[in-house]
Amino acid sequence: MDTHALIRQLVQKNDSKIVMYVADGLGGLPQKPGGKTELETASTPNLDKLAAEGVCGGSIPVAPGIAPGSGPGHLGLFGYDPVEFLIGRGALEATGIGFKLEEGDVAIRANFCTLDSDGNIADRRAGRIPTEESTPIVERLAKEVSISGIETVILPVKEHRFVIVLRGDGLVGNVDDTDPQATGVPPLNPAARDDASQKTAEVCSQLLEQVRKLLADEAKANFCTLRGITGKPSIPSFEEVYGLHAAAIAVYPMYKGLANLVGMDIIGEAQTLDEQMEVLKSVWDKYDFFFIHFKYTDSTGEDGNFDAKVKRTEEYDAAVPAIMELGPDVFIATGDHSTPSMLASHSWHSVPTLLWAENCRCDPATSFGESQCLTGGLGQFEAKHLMTLALANAGRLGKFGA
Amino acid sequence: MDTHALIRQLVQKNDSKIVMYVADGLGGLPQKPGGKTELETASTPNLDKLAAEGVCGGSIPVAPGIAPGSGPGHLGLFGYDPVEFLIGRGALEATGIGFKLEEGDVAIRANFCTLDSDGNIADRRAGRIPTEESTPIVERLAKEVSISGIETVILPVKEHRFVIVLRGDGLVGNVDDTDPQATGVPPLNPAARDDASQKTAEVCSQLLEQVRKLLADEAKANFCTLRGITGKPSIPSFEEVYGLHAAAIAVYPMYKGLANLVGMDIIGEAQTLDEQMEVLKSVWDKYDFFFIHFKYTDSTGEDGNFDAKVKRTEEYDAAVPAIMELGPDVFIATGDHSTPSMLASHSWHSVPTLLWAENCRCDPATSFGESQCLTGGLGQFEAKHLMTLALANAGRLGKFGA
């Protein structure tokens, strides 16, 4: 079923406000079977109160057993089937450093590599060259590379990784990687996968030729490979699909970038949750939908630090009253995936989710945690349905059929 | 997955009896968060006993967040994906007044309108002309309109609304609406959306020409617009897909019509639940499947009358023993959607559902209500799967694969 086609038919506007408050990697695991997860260990009086008044459930980011990255995790929360709407690696890398891709851009993830004297790859990551060494090299490329009729944007990321964006007429991003995924062989030439991408492949070849000359004297980073040569993903906007004027209030570039891909306005320069709440308050009257992103439940989980994740979860909870005093019609607390500190990585486990709204049909859950979410009224559901539920609870969907 | 294709492969006949007992709009909401819904407030000893012996769950009519009309709501219960099997507005309107569409018919919802002296629409609904005024006009049209080679059936509905059915060779229902959705402009001419519908568009033009002349002297209803010009939906029958000889025992034309679209026999002229139960008993030996429809849980919900819905739910429960004493192999109690009296409208909330059968795998639910259904053995499931569960519990499905 094409849920978006259905929603477009049914959407009706009103003056309701929806808040989606995302704790990255929220779901967790107990330290021992039968114990409490990070969320269940944390003291979260504000979320517990909303869980008692609202409805809970377990959100499955993509499909049972699938652990998503930030891209598919957030696309699911935003109501886009994360298997249908794919963000190419180049586009995600550019998005991740906050670059705003435009229609027709082609984004590339580039890796510095080391070529030996025969032109074969000796090190695919240029000895994982430190960021402080790689950044000046990227800046030099940004200054020197020049391709007729094409604007090139070259930006550092971290260590051996950087981003190239090509902007110009007739560029289509369907070109093979040039990384041969092996050493002792030369890099591959950029090969178009379709006729429409021929020009992009030629531009990539010119670019690589210039890079080879410019970096010839570098000890480690004397060349680069190109990966994930992709255009801006074609994703209908929040305004188009849901009729929502949406704002994103995030700290990290990746999440601003993801929100931007679905057409949200990126608001403010907040660096802390308190500052995010100030930004929220300042634009409350101007938007219908607010995506607020909190990173540290994920990063502490990735660090494998159970206690730190508990503490960060408590910070996440402590900011809830600042949202609720603004009077949202629909409040959702969830995560884009689980990041159990016991695994120190993203996982496939369902994500505790609560939806609070006047007519949400309150369930028996009395606090917010993985176990209580199992018997919640939202059941175990695919994340992509959450936006439909948000719209319904906000009175923004008409009846389907007579 | 095409569930119907799978079921067709696996169906095996036996002499089991399945009863689907539908309380329209059954699901509800508490008057205050944490309170009891209409169903939970009602005294329903018969359904509670079956819930304790059977298996419960929450049926999602279409998809999370989607509130369906009666058409998609019932198609889901009957095991047809309500987004795949769409009933056009004309076909639904004809069905709703109990008209039995045949293959090749084209059904149209017509609205009386008022044209000004320039032929522009002054009122799209002819001042919502009362039914007692519009019915004689419809009857006159039914008598006077005559199109060579085409049988026209013209039937009153209510106020400015009536139904036109065209019957004849070569008619296909894919013609644009003639209602311009605005006043001060003339009605649109019927335009075919494909070559196959050219003849239908021409017939509609002839019909409108005659209507214009016949109604020229009417004060309000001096013309009409045509909407939802559609054929009988192509829906495989219960017999074809499930191998079930099915009977519908309903009071209201809409539900008889919907059952007729999936090939059920419409049995009896019952006006009350007691009469429906008498009809059921009288045809018990003749059918495999019985759809029994109870309307008033929906209409009281639509009226926003919590107490009346509670009372109607008790009536629904009180008729259960009359069904059970006939000895069905599978008994299902459910609704086509929720109609919480707090919302006074159809809603998206899951619908309490119970399935009783000898080998259903009884769950811990001890009474029939929204909260207990959350932890029931059927989980939260899409309504379209209910028929497969009914067939399985009736021993009517063989094993898939070796």
* pLDDT for the residue numbered B16: 98
Check if the beta carbon of residue B314 is closer than 8 Å to that of residue B330: no
B282 CA to chain A: closest CA distance, Å? Answer: 32
* Per-residue b or e along A235-267, where b marks 16 or more CB atoms closer than 10 Å to that residue's CB: beebeebbbbebbbbbbbebbbbbbbbbbbebb
CB atoms within 10 A of CB A273: 20
Alpha carbons A284 and A300: distance in angstroms, whole number:
30
B371 CA to chain A: closest CA distance, Å? Answer: 7
Closest to A70 measured CA to CA, from A306, A298, A269 = A298
Query: Does B66 have pLDDT greater than 90?
Result: yes
Q: Which of B30, B67, B380 sits opposite A379 (nearest CB)?
A: B380
pLDDT digits (tens, 9 = 90+) for B159-169: 999 999 999 99
DSSP 8-class letter at A147: B
Residues of chain A with pLDDT under 50: none
Per the DSSP assignment, residues forming a β-bridge with A59 are A351, A381
* pLDDT for the residue numbered A292: 98
A336 CA to chain B: closest CA distance, Å? Answer: 19
Query: Does B331 have pLDDT greater than 80?
Result: yes
Interface membership of B366 toward A (CB under 8 Å): no
Chain B residues whose beta carbon lies within 8 Å of the beta carbon of residue A77: none
Closest to B76 measured CA to CA, from B380, B356, B335, B263 = B335
Check if the beta carbon of residue A52 is closer than 8 Å to that of residue A326: no
Check if the beta carbon of residue B339 is closer than 8 Å to that of residue B24: yes
Check if the beta carbon of residue B261 is closer than 8 Å to that of residue B102: no
* pLDDT for the residue numbered A78: 98
Q: Which of A363, A380, A389 sits opposite B65 (nearest CB)?
A: A389
Alpha carbons A90 and A99: distance in angstroms, whole number:
11
Per the DSSP assignment, residues forming a β-bridge with B20 are B291, B332
3-state secondary structure of A85: coil
A141 CA to chain B: closest CA distance, Å? Answer: 50
Alpha carbons A131 and A126: distance in angstroms, whole number:
12
The strand order across the sheet containing B351-357 reads: B265-266, B246-249, B289-294, B18-23, B330-334, B351-357, B55-60, B379-382
> Which H or E element spans position A228?
strand A223-231
* pLDDT for the residue numbered A174: 92
Residue B88: pLDDT band by 50, 70, 90 thresholds?
A: confident
In whole angstroms, how far apart are CA A267 and each of A235, A251, A271, A280, B99? 20, 10, 12, 9, 56
Q: Which of B374, B378, B380, B385 to mutate to probe the A interface, most A CBs <10 Å?
A: B374
Cα angle B85, B91, B95 (rounded to 5 degrees) comes to: 105
Alpha carbons A69 and A82: distance in angstroms, whole number:
10
- Long-range contacts (CB closer than 8 Å, 24 or more residues apart) made by A245-248: A245/A286, A245/A287, A245/A288, A245/A289, A246/A287, A246/A288, A246/A289, A246/A290, A246/A291, A247/A283, A247/A286, A247/A287, A247/A289, A247/A290, A247/A291, A248/A290, A248/A291, A248/A293
Residue B211: pLDDT band by 50, 70, 90 thresholds?
A: very high
The token pair at B259 is 């059952």
Average pLDDT score over residue span B240-254: 96
Cα angle B250, B254, B257 (rounded to 5 degrees) comes to: 80
Check if the beta carbon of residue A381 is closer than 8 Å to that of residue A57: yes
Alpha carbons A351 and A386: distance in angstroms, whole number:
12
Interface membership of A361 toward B (CB under 8 Å): yes
* CB proximity list for B124: less than 8 A, separation 6 or greater: B111, B113, B179, B181, B183, B225
Per the DSSP assignment, residues forming a β-bridge with A114 are A123
pLDDT digits (tens, 9 = 90+) for B15-34: 999 999 999 999 999 998 88
Alpha carbons B295 and B23: distance in angstroms, whole number:
6
Closest to A207 measured CA to CA, from A183, A221, A225 = A225
Alpha carbons B188 and B364: distance in angstroms, whole number:
59
Exposure on the CB side of residue A49, measured as CA atoms within 13 A: 7
Task: Using DSSP bridges, classify how beta strands B265-266 and B289-294 pair: parallel, antiparallel or unpaired.
Answer: unpaired
Closest to A52 measured CA to CA, from A329, A381, A356 = A356
Q: Which of B66, B69, B379 sits opposite A388 (nearest CB)?
A: B66
Residue showing tokens 């605005």: B182
* pLDDT for the residue numbered B96: 84
The token pair at B121 is 């629409």
Average pLDDT, chain B: 96
A80 CA to chain B: closest CA distance, Å? Answer: 14
Alpha carbons A205 and A189: distance in angstroms, whole number:
7
Alpha carbons B166 and A121: distance in angstroms, whole number:
75
Query: Does B1 have pLDDT greater than 80?
Result: no
Cβ-defined contact of B34 to A362 (cutoff 8 Å) = yes
Backbone angles phi, psi at B196, to 5 degrees: -65, -25
Angle between helices A386-393 and A3-10 (to 10 degrees): 10
The residue of chain A nearest to residue B68, with distances taken between CA atoms, is A400
Per the DSSP assignment, residues forming a β-bridge with A101 are none
Alpha carbons B95 and B175: distance in angstroms, whole number:
19
Measured over all CA atoms, what is the biggest interatomic distance in chain B, rounded to whole angstroms? 74
* pLDDT for the residue numbered A38: 98
Chain B residues whose beta carbon lies within 8 Å of the beta carbon of residue A391: 65
The residue of chain B nearest to residue A385, with distances taken between CA atoms, is B64
Chain B residues whose beta carbon lies within 8 Å of the beta carbon of residue A361: 29-30, 37, 340, 349, 370
CB atoms within 10 A of CB B70: 27
Alpha carbons A249 and A256: distance in angstroms, whole number:
8
CA dihedral B365, B367, B372, B377 (to 10 degrees): 40
3-state secondary structure of A124: coil
Name residues 39-78 of chain A within 8 A of B (Cβ): 52-53
Task: Using DSSP bridges, classify how beta strands B106-115 and B223-231 pair: parallel, antiparallel or unpaired.
Answer: antiparallel
DSSP 8-class letter at B39: H
